Each structure stands twice: as structure tokens, then as C-alpha cells.
DNA sequence: GTAGATGCAAATTTTTTGCATTTAG
DNA sequence: CTAAATGCAAAAAATTTGCATCTAC
């Protein structure tokens, strides 16, 4: 598991400075199995004694997004959620009642992108998939 | 094409009043092949002489969402986009450069929801899929 | 030392809400 | 007539920006 080092390198490799805040954002996203909002990240940084301002968090996320290190997802009503781009990308199942997220195995889009590219003439760069439902706990209520 | 009547009925059928603003929102969403933001809808209502306040548009969309007449998608940076729920649901291909949207045929999730349900014990209620890429026009530049 | 990163406060943008007024049923 | 819908203005929530200060390189 040298992911952490890899990601820090990705930031510095692109000519950006490897600051504590950036390392913290990368590490927090790495250890999150589910998408996080900017505020989630901000709070986790604070808790772990690596406080940065919320605007810094937004700026780091913007930088990472531009460099394809994170993807922006929207889930919890009008709040942007961010996920680290990993080699094996994931999709999530979200309970519409309690907002719990569960990672799904596999990607049903695999192999389909080339078909879409041929049909539409677009260069396909990625996709976002979320599945919604009611989790067993919420159903019981 | 009696979609319009159908949708108006859906609103009134649920015990809600069939107002001009509501009919206008339904009609505008019907004629849109792509997701629209609340403001898009607000502007189209104004253009077509059926002005309503932006807050009314938001309230109508909220009502429709709660009654599963529209789905909320987020695409254009931090702006909620709304799509009318139709029997044959659609997914979209979005140019990350100019934000153009193109509807895709077919749904690769068809049939997959029952597998996910079995594996996770969730009741699956829906999903959202967006594919990203660069359109031919933007690629040329 | 210097360009780039950060913090803070203020500005913008998007969405929601309170309340008086209007309207569909 | 009456509950529900709307408009308006103000509030709240989320994100971005300007500028002075700090820090990685």
C-alpha cells in the first residue's frame, strides 16, 4: 500500500507544492470509502490537528479536480461530494432515507464507453453512476 | 402524445392544485430533452409569458420531486438540474468543456438492479448515470 | 528570495423560508 | 369561502474571491 506516496507525488509531480494541507486532503480522501463534502474534509482535518480554512479545502479540491485526482459527485442535496480517483473506480449505493452510502463492486459501464464514443463522436473521459434505494435499517422503521 | 395531459393529471390526481405555474413547469420539462436548472425553467417561463417567481419554481420542483415526477441531478457545477421522470428513462453524455448535453439511448443498468438488491438487501428505487467526454466541436479547438 | 499557498473576511451564487396576498376548487 | 399556492424580500447554505501574510522550494 504505497498509495499515499503515489498521490503526494502526483501533486508535486505536476509542479504544485506539497503542503501539509494538500497531503491531509489526499490522505483523508484515501481513507474514505465514500464521497466526502468539502466540509466533511475540513472537519476531519480539524479533528486530526491539521486544520486548514474551508476556502483552502475548496481550493485544494479544485486543484485536484483540474488534475483529475478527484471527481466531483453531487448527492446530499445540493452539496458537492468528492472522491479520490483510484485505478479501480467505484460506484455507490445510497439510502435515500438516511443518506448512508455503500460501495458497489464492479462497474456496469466497463466496455460500454467505446460504443458510446463511436455513436456520438465524443471522446469519453469518464462517467458517474449512483444507485438509490432504501437500506434494510430504514425499511424496518 | 398525450403526455401533457397525463402529467397534469398526475399533479391534480395527488390532491394538488393544477395551477398555471405548475402546468408550465411540467410542459417545459417535457419539451426539454436535457436536464434543466431551476433558473433555466424560471427563464423559459418568463420568455413564454408565464412568469413565476424563482421561489415558486423551486417549490414546484420540490413538490414534483417528492411525488417522483422529477429527478434531481447535479451537473453544471453546484447547480441542481431537474429532469421529468418518464416511463423510458434516459441518461446523458455531457461535454466537460462546453457543458453541452446529449441524450443517450438505452440504459446499461437495466436488469442489474435486482442483482444489487440481492447483494445489498437494499430496496433499489433508481439510479443516476452521466457519461462525460469532449464533444467533436470542442475537440477541434 | 520569490512564486505560490493559505487565512480571513467579504462577496457571490444557489436554495430555502416567513409572511402577506391571491387563487383554485 | 377556505386551504393551498404564490410573490417578495430576507435568510441560510454552499462556494468563490481579494488581498495581506506566510511558506515550500
pLDDT at A34: 87
Query: Which tens digits make up the pLDDT trace of A51-64?
Result: 999 999 999 999 99
Measured between its terminal Cα atoms, the distance across chain B in Å is 40
pLDDT at A43: 97
Tell me the angle at which helices A20-30 and A38-47 cross, rounded to the nearest 10 degrees.
110
Give the integer Cα–Cα distance in Å for A95 and A80: 17
pLDDT at A39: 96
Nearest CA-CA partner of A44 in A21, A14, A71, A15: A21
pLDDT at A2 over 50: no
Tell me the pTM.
0.80
> What domains can you pick out in chain B, each with its CATH number?
1-86 (1.10.10.10), 88-141 (3.30.1490.190)
Residues 2-61 of chain A in contact with strand C via CB under 7 angstroms: 16-17, 19-22, 51-53, 55-56, 59-60
Q: What is the DSSP letter of A122?
A: P
pLDDT at A15 over 60: yes
Contact B127 A126 (CB under 8 A): no
Are the beta carbons of A28 and A44 closer than 8 angstroms?
A: yes
Chain A interface residues (partner B, CB cutoff 8 A) = 72, 74, 77-78, 80, 93, 95-96, 102, 104-105, 108-109, 112-113, 116-117, 119-136, 139
**Average pLDDT per 10 consecutive residues for chain B, totaling 141 residues:** 52 83 95 92 96 97 92 76 81 81 82 88 88 86 72
**Bridge partner residues of B133 (DSSP):** A124, B95
Residues 6 or more apart whose Cβ sits within 8 Å of residue A131:
A91, A92, A93, A94, A104, B109, B113, B116, B124, B126, B127
pLDDT at B17: 92
pLDDT at A3: 45
Amino acid at each position: 500500500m504505497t498509495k499515499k506516496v503515489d498521490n503526494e507525488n502526483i501533486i508535486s509531480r505536476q509542479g504544485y507544492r506539497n503542503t501539509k494541507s494538500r497531503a491531509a486532503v489526499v490522505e483523508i480522501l484515501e481513507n474514505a470509502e465514500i464521497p466526502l463534502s468539502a466540509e466533511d474534509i475540513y472537519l476531519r482535518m480539524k479533528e486530526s490537528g491539521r486544520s486548514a480554512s474551508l476556502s483552502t479545502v475548496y481550493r485544494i479540491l479544485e486543484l485536484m479536480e483540474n488534475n483529475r485526482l478527484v471527481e466531483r459527485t453531487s448527492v446530499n442535496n445540493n452539496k458537492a461530494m468528492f472522491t479520490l480517483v483510484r485505478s479501480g473506480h467505484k460506484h455507490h449505493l445510497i439510502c435515500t432515507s438516511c443518506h448512508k452510502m455503500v460501495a458497489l463492486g464492479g462497474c456496469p459501464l466497463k466496455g460500454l464507453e467505446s460504443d458510446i464514443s463511436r455513436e456520438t463522436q465524443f471522446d469519453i473521459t469518464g462517467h458517474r453512476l449512483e444507485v438509490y434505494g432504501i437500506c434494510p435499517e430504514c425499511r424496518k422503521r
